[in-house]
Amino acid sequence: MRKVVVSQFVTLDGVMEDPGGAENPDLGGWAFKFDRGEDGDKFKLDEVMAADALLLGRVTYEGFAAAWPDRTDEAGFADKFNSMPKYVVSTTLAEPSWNNSHVIAAADVAGLEGEILVNGSNTLIQALMEHDVVDEYRLMVFPIVLGRGKRLFADGRPQTTLKLTDSRPVGPDGVIVLTYVPARD
């Protein structure tokens, strides 16, 4: 059984663009202004350890592929991230360089198995939402309003009802993890 999990860092106004600051120096880096604490770090570690694969768009994949292959850590996050299967939805990437990476078409997502974790990848997420294949949203919400940038739920999206399944504060700076599932009839 497939479970597509969109896991994002977002601002209070829903911006998901460049939380780490690698793409847009004028806008990015906002997630590093806050301490998500040990609970936030554990949430991210547990999430990666439970996932069977990553599903990424080309831009996010290229950023991750440049940053992660040489990393290691005592907790095992980097080892799991580097060894797990990575599926890249792209029409332009031909030869993925990161270990255990596979280029697929958007239609191939339906055939994936297990818990599939989606990080970043705004364009891909918009397509997944349009085709109603997202099974869960895990949002680490940071207490900042940017007022502009790419939003998780882009303008013009059809009305979508979500059901809150979990909420918890993490860290001392007001970061909250919210977990939602689509309220499908």
Mean pLDDT for the stretch of residues 116-120: 96
Which pLDDT score is estimated for 113? 95
Which percentage of the chain shows pLDDT scores above 70? 99
Alpha helix (H) residue ranges in the chain: 37-50, 58-67, 77-83, 122-130
106 near 87, Cβ under 8 Å? no
Mean pLDDT for the stretch of residues 45-68: 95
DSSP 3-state assignment of 183?
A: coil
Which pLDDT score is estimated for 1? 83
Confidence class of residue 5 from pLDDT cuts 50, 70 and 90? very high
Rounded CA separation 114/44 (Å): 18
Which pLDDT score is estimated for 175? 98
pLDDT digits (tens, 9 = 90+) for 6-55: 999 999 999 999 998 888 778 889 999 999 999 999 999 999 999 999 99
51 near 83, Cβ under 8 Å? no
Residue 161 belongs to what domain range?
A: 2-182
**Domains held by the chain: number:** 1
Residues 6+ apart with CB under 8 A from 17: 23, 24, 27, 28, 122, 149, 150
Which pLDDT score is estimated for 23? 80
Token pair listed for 82 = 């580097």
pLDDT digits (tens, 9 = 90+) for 172-182: 999 999 999 99
Look at residues 39, 31, 38, 44 and name the one whose alpha carbon lies nearest to residue 5. Answer: 44
Residues 6+ apart with CB under 8 A from 124: 55, 56, 57, 60, 89, 106, 118
Q: In this model, does residue 165 exceed pLDDT 80? A: yes
Longest dimension (CA), the chain: 45
CATH of the domain at 42: 3.40.430.10
Token pair listed for 46 = 């547990």
Look at residues 178, 48, 45 and name the one whose alpha carbon lies nearest to residue 116. Answer: 48
Mean pLDDT for the stretch of residues 120-132: 93
H or E element, residue 89: strand 86-89
Which pLDDT score is estimated for 26? 82
Confidence class of residue 71 from pLDDT cuts 50, 70 and 90? very high
